[in-house]
A and B are shown apart, each in its own frame.
Chain A
Amino acid sequence: MQTQLAIDVRIYGEQLDTIPQDLYIPPDALEVYLEAFEGPLDLLLYLIRKHNLDILDIPMAELTRQYMDYVEKMRATKLELAADYLLMSAMLIEIKSRMLLPKPADIEQEDDPRAELVRRLMEYEAIKLAAQRLDEMPQVGQEIVVAHAYFEQIAVAGPPGISFEDLVAAWQSVLQRASHFQHHRVGRAELSVREHMSLVLRRLQRDSMVEFMDLFDVVNDGLPKLVVYFLAILELAREGLIKITQQASFSPIYLQAQER
């Protein structure tokens, strides 16, 4: 596709009357033409490569004039971009002016003013090529597909168990509290572990979860009764009729009827 350029662009004395065919440019959008470049260095590099310009032989005045044209046209819409091109224009003008100045013979040969521009162009070109190669590399999410087989993480179900030591400690605390309310009682109570097992189960049927301490009425029940209660609980646990759980060390111990 050949597109007539809206403005007069001259490269190295040659009129550039068509948009380069390797770029897509709508006919009336100069801004888009410029957006195809990643900045003034990129444009300069393009001009040099496309037209085989010798960088040392660039007509600085002509190039600078073109840059200024771009800057003028961009000022309305893309001020920040214009600033970058303006900086490049300033650099080109500086190079040109330093080259025009006569060099007194007794002053040491100074560096070619174009050397810095050449260095920057070379570095930029190297990065540009590196960027292209990076872009061509296969990427995860594009060409690389990573294995991700399904695996259902099954959490270990059920509340944590309880250690023997914690149960003993809890029982001792019951005994200790009971000792504060000791009084003498006359007569003989009929005590049966089995009976108390039923009592505990019944209680657990009513309140699905009971705290260990709440099972004991340390104020009214005598020590023997408390012992029987405790034995009943141990027996129920042994027969798998109740579950004794504790979420963490020193937290309350709970009893629950074992679900069938």
Chain B
Amino acid sequence: MQEPLNTAQMKQILEAALLTAGQPLSLDELLRPFDGRMERATLRMLLDELKADWQQRSMELVQVASGWRFQARPEFSLYLSRISPERQQRYSRAAMETLAIIAYRQPVTRGDIEEIRGVAVNPNIMRQLIERNWIDVVGQRDVPGRPSLYATTKTFLDDLNLRSLSELPAMENFSQQDILFEPPQPE
């Protein structure tokens, strides 16, 4: 082995690891190739440098919930989609509403979801979201029947290019005026 390594070599090792991973790599995973000879602060600095190095290239280095990954710059996605037309399925409106309730109101039970949407939860939708590993059961609410509490996963954040739930688009807060509510006139 040709250790110790210089900064350029360390960056290349990180680059090779990230390009071949196919999924986000956490800081711990990225430290592993260096066998305890790298500080976390150094790693962060190198990742920032690497990110800057790729600024003018076809791929970009991004940080998502599970770690760091290279992905194609968004402007190429249309062209890339023509290579493999079979894509991950888009979900129905009912599924997206269910997902939104879980994402913004988590942890929630099926009952909570039904209360907000006003319709029974379709078990297929829950299964779809669990199979995609976007939601999972994080516990049971301590009420009769002990219903499962659902929450979104790190994979959900990764797949939407987010680092944390706080990066979700802000939820609209409708005031009562938006629904043309006027206080009842005193008689």
Q: What residues make up the interface of A, taking CB atoms closer than 8 Å to B?
A: 38-42, 48, 52-56, 80-81, 83-84, 87-88, 112, 118, 120-135, 137-151
B80–A145 contact, CB under 8 A? yes
**Stretch in contact with the other chain, from B27-35, B36-44, B170-178:** B170-178
0/1 per residue, B72-110, Cβ < 8 Å to A? 101011001100000110110110110111011000000
B158–A140 contact, CB under 8 A? yes
Chain B residues with Cβ under 8 A from A134's Cβ? 96, 99-100, 103, 160, 168-169
Cα A129 to Cα B100 in complex, Å, equals: 9
A55–B74 contact, CB under 8 A? no
Cα A93 to Cα B48 in complex, Å, equals: 61
Chain A residues with Cβ under 8 A from B103's Cβ? 130, 134
A122–B178 contact, CB under 8 A? yes
Chain A: minimal CB distance from B3 (Å)? 19
A88–B118 contact, CB under 8 A? yes
Cα A56 to Cα B90 in complex, Å, equals: 37
- Asked if B8 is at the interface of the complex by the 8 Å CB criterion, the answer is no
- Contact residue range for chain B? 35 or more
Chain B residues with Cβ under 8 A from A124's Cβ? 116-118
Which residue on B lies nearest to A91, using beta carbons?
Answer: B118
Q: Which of B23, B91, B99, B173 contacts A146 (CB 8 A)?
A: B23
Q: What residues make up the interface of B, taking CB atoms closer than 8 Å to A?
A: 16, 18-23, 59, 69-72, 74, 76-77, 80-81, 87-88, 90-91, 93-94, 96-97, 99-101, 103-104, 116-120, 158-161, 168-169, 171-174, 176, 178-184
A81–B88 contact, CB under 8 A? no
Cα A134 to Cα B16 in complex, Å, equals: 32
Give the interface SS of chain A, mostly helix, strand, loop or mixed: helix
Which residue on B lies nearest to A136, using beta carbons?
Answer: B169
Q: Which of A42, A56, A132 contacts B118 (CB 8 A)?
A: A42
Chain B: minimal CB distance from A31 (Å)? 15
Cα A141 to Cα B86 in complex, Å, equals: 9
Cα A88 to Cα B118 in complex, Å, equals: 8
Which residue on A lies nearest to B84, using beta carbons?
Answer: A145
A127–B104 contact, CB under 8 A? yes
A84–B118 contact, CB under 8 A? yes
Chain A: minimal CB distance from B81 (Å)? 8
Cα A39 to Cα B114 in complex, Å, equals: 10
B72–A48 contact, CB under 8 A? no
B179–A118 contact, CB under 8 A? yes
Given contacts A118-B181, A151-B20, contact A126 B74 (CB under 8 A): no
B69–A131 contact, CB under 8 A? no
Chain A residues with Cβ under 8 A from B161's Cβ? 137-140, 144
Chain B residues with Cβ under 8 A from A131's Cβ? 93, 96-97, 99-100
Chain A residues with Cβ under 8 A from B22's Cβ? 146-148
Given contacts A142-B88, A146-B71, A147-B22, contact A122 B176 (CB under 8 A): yes
Q: Which of A48, A81, A141, A149 contacts B20 (CB 8 A)?
A: A149
A146–B104 contact, CB under 8 A? no
Chain A: minimal CB distance from B124 (Å)? 13
Chain B: minimal CB distance from A151 (Å)? 4
Cα A81 to Cα B114 in complex, Å, equals: 12
Cα A16 to Cα B145 in complex, Å, equals: 45
Chain B: minimal CB distance from A258 (Å)? 26
Which residue on B lies nearest to A140, using beta carbons?
Answer: B159
Chain B: minimal CB distance from A214 (Å)? 39
A146–B117 contact, CB under 8 A? no
Chain B residues with Cβ under 8 A from A112's Cβ? 183-184
Given contacts A141-B87, A147-B72, A148-B22, contact A127 B169 (CB under 8 A): no
Chain A residues with Cβ under 8 A from B159's Cβ? 139-141, 144
B87–A142 contact, CB under 8 A? yes
Chain B residues with Cβ under 8 A from A41's Cβ? 117-119
Cα A14 to Cα B22 in complex, Å, equals: 58
